[in-house]
Amino acid sequence: MSSLKSKAEQILNLADVKINGNRPWDIQVYNEDFYKKIFSGGSLSLGESYMDGWWDCKNLDEFFNKVLAARLDKKLKPWSLVFNVIKAKTLNMQNKSRSKEVAEKHYDLGNDFYKNVLDKKYMQYTCGYWKNAKNLDQAQKDKLELVCKKLNLKKTDKVLELGCGWGGFAEYAARKYGCHITAYNISEEQVKYARENCKGLPVEIIKSDYRNAKGTFDKVVSIGMCEHVGYKNYRTFMEVAYNCLKDNGLFLMHTIGGNTSVHSIDPWLGKYIFPNGMLPSVKQLAESFEGLFVMEDWHNFSAHYDKTLMAWFNNFDKNWDKIKLDHNERFYRIWKYYLLCCAGSFRARKNQLWQVVLSKGGVPGGYNSIR
């Protein structure tokens, strides 16, 4: 047995994971070069070796739950990570030109592809709310209703949405509450779909960067875009919302968050899924709105993202026969790895999901927290 394999076994034993074991979360290694690769390349090499078929696992989500709960990610920190941190600290990886990369590489994969993965009605690519839901469609509808209630939406409201995905929130809020939505998005495919889907409703979809938003609104909302803003731009993001919000208005931000402050994303996710993305921490967000907003409510329902990601994977897996007409087997392994490693990460409570409600000067008499 090689010394690297022995070292890998010792580390994995801390998470109750065995190499070539018979439990669903044990890994099966098919290429002995796997050990050298992961010790030199960390999480990037772990993902790439999975893409190449060097190893497999029956329940990837539970493998990652165990590995991350045991904090084994702290034991594999190659020098490549240092380069990523230096790059993130010296460059603005989410400036207007670079921010388009994630739209082109990820969100513009094709609307037909995402129809086979997401919920049927609202095409929500953010965490659903499973408190009373039994399926993905209901969880996403309940999430949208939760957002509307937290914002106390009224028919007379003018609402600014920063990053609108496929327009699901705009359609829901305009149709049910009758308010007017102005939404900004930089994804060509999403804008095309959202405009068609919201036709005939008081909704305006603008293909432009969130930093170009202008006007005065009763409410501002951002659902799942803060993950693409970047720590160098959090203050700008908050200032855009502040400058566009009326004095008595509310701003709701829905975002994935991390337990510690970082300056870059996991290298595998950054290379293959979300270029230039990163997760904010409580500290980073709080500092970004200090002196601008009053924090009225901070709701964490991160365990719901585990269920959402597993539902997305089940749809992806079930519809693979349709998806594979446009994508190869390597694409299948990339997306399986992505969805299930993220599910395991939320299950291990390494990642969080927050809905934060902010006001300019404080809601008179106090804000009524909705759950």
Q: What is the mean pLDDT of residues 26-41?
A: 94
State which H helix or E strand residue 180 sits in.
strand 180-185
pLDDT at 170 over 60: yes
Tell the CATH superfamily of the 99-359 domain: Vaccinia Virus protein VP39 (3.40.50.150)
Structure tokens at 205: 């979809």
Angle 239-278-170 from CA coordinates, rounded to 5°? 60
Give the pLDDT score at 265: 87
pLDDT for 72 equals 86
What's the Cα-to-Cα distance from 348 to each of 26, 69, 72, 129, rounded to whole Å? Answer: 17, 5, 12, 18
Residue 127 is among the residues annotated as catalytic for this protein: no
Residue 82's pLDDT is: 42
pLDDT of residue 293: 98
Of 78-82, 154-158, 336-340, the poorest mean pLDDT is in: 78-82
Using one digit for the tens of pLDDT, what is the confidence trace for 126-142? 999 999 999 999 999 99
Task: Give SS3 for 16.
Answer: coil
In 3D space, the residue among 362, 335, 232 whose CA is nearest the CA of residue 284 turns out to be: 232
Average pLDDT, the chain: 92
**8 A C-beta contact, residue 84 and residue 267:** yes
Share of the chain above pLDDT 70, in %: 92
Q: How confident is the model at residue 299 (pLDDT cuts 50, 70, 90)?
A: very high
Catalytic residue among 179, 198, 226, 342: 342
Q: What is the pLDDT of residues 277-297, one digit of tens each?
A: 899 999 999 999 999 999 999
Whether pLDDT at 351 is above 70: yes
What's residue 109's pLDDT? Answer: 84
**Phi first, then psi: what are they for 208, rounded to 5°?**
-165, 160
Dist. CA 44–CA 48, nearest whole Å: 6
Name all contacts of 118-121 with Cβ < 8 Å and 24+ positions apart.
118/312, 118/315, 121/168
Cα–Cα distance for residue pair 88/278, rounded to 1 Å: 10
pLDDT of residue 98: 58
Pairwise CA distance, residues 346 & 65, whole Å: 8
Which is more confident, 90 or 369? 369
- pLDDT confidence of residue 323: 96
The string of DSSP letters for 262-324 reads -SS--HHHHHHT-TT--PPBHHHHHHHHTTT-EEEEEEE-THHHHHHHHHHHHHHHHTHHHHT
CA distance 125 to 165: 7
Residue 86's pLDDT band, with cuts at 50, 70 and 90, is very low
Domain limits of the chain? 3-77, 99-359
Whether 256 contacts 351, CB under 8 Å: yes
Cβ(119)–Cβ(316) below 8 Å: no
| pLDDT grade for 22, boundaries at 50, 70 and 90 | very high
* Long-range contacts from 7-14, C-beta under 8 angstroms, 24+ separation: 7/35, 7/39, 8/35, 8/38, 8/39, 11/72, 11/75, 12/67, 12/72, 14/70, 14/72
pLDDT of 79: 42
Q: Report the pLDDT value the prediction gives residue 80, as an integer from 0 to 100.
A: 45
Q: 224-264, pLDDT tens digit by residue?
A: 999 999 999 999 999 999 999 999 999 999 999 999 999 88
260-264, 350-354, 357-361: which range is least confident on average? 260-264
pTM equals 0.92
Q: What is the pLDDT of residue 75?
A: 64
